[in-house]
Amino acid sequence: MSANSRPVGVFDSGAGGISVLKTMTRLLPREDFLFYGDDKNAPYGTKGPQEVRALAENAVRFLLDRNAKAVVIACNTATAAAAESLRARYAMPIIGMEPAIKPASGCRKGGIVLSMATPGTLKSEKYRRLSEKYGEGVVPLPCPGLMEFVERGILDGGELRDYLQRLFAPFQDQKVDAVVLGCTHYVFLRSVIASFFSKGTPVLDGNLGTARQLQRRLTEEGLLAPEGQKGTVTILSSGGEAFEKRLKALYDTPLMEELPGPEALQ
């Protein structure tokens, strides 16, 4: 197998990275993708940095053993904890996630930006640097337990809405100009999250930026899939066959809003 024909490895602590995978397959339809959901060790967001780094290292080795030509860390927590050490160790392209604080900052009109993320992401050095640069008016909002709704297949309903009602209650009298989805799981909840804010309030994620960065790095390294190759998607899980079936079902579930059209992905 030529280097160009090898798969792109993608991993997350569970199901959230499926939302990133869907965007990448839209942007790079010729690529083969191998997704690894580490359900057995989810969630990462409440674990310490050292433990997350060890889990990320295991995931990368799993993907390398299956001939990955590049790796996408489809998890904000794992990116913050492990991306730098992984890049120092491996020569292949390693792409991470970044909360969409920079684009959200351009949406401010005197109000605040809510930055929803796991406690692990919000405590990270990477997030601190990003916030220092673009974080004026950004309010970090830790969301312990929110990703588990997606893991359980709950994408709407009373239990989820009650959780979000409590989460957003302190901001009901404030002007919210934008919301950042700083965890890949939250993308599947975009519509229900948006329903708590004024119509038209931007609800932003970093998925497309990550997909574009993958495209740039594969181009720079001469690793783009060859013309005529029809891309495939393989989904595996540390949690066994039942989790793999659930991840595949989620991959087949439309996102809560349309992905950008082909012209927006160029």
Catalytically annotated residues: 75, 183
Q: Which DSSP letter does residue 261 get? A: P
How many CB atoms are located within 10 Å of the residue 66 CB? 14
- Residue pointed to by tokens 């519509």: 191
CB 117 within 8 A of CB 139: no
> How far apart (Å, rounded) are the C-alpha atoms in residues 71 and 73?
6
How many angstroms separate the CA atoms of 236 and 247, rounded? Answer: 8
Positive or negative torsion for Cα 51, 9, 19, 202: positive
3-class SS of residue 180 = strand
Token pair recorded at residue 15: 């199901």
Q: Find residue 204's DSSP bridge partners.
A: 180
Q: Would you call 127 helix, strand, or coil by DSSP?
A: helix
212: nearest Cα among 20, 56, 83, 79: 20
Q: Which of 132, 76, 83, 123 is nearest to 99 (CA)?
A: 76
* Burial of 137 (C-beta count, 10 Å sphere; 0-12/13-18/19+): middle
Within 8 A by CB and 6+ apart from 118, the residues are 43, 44, 45, 46, 76, 77, 142, 143, 144, 147, 182, 183
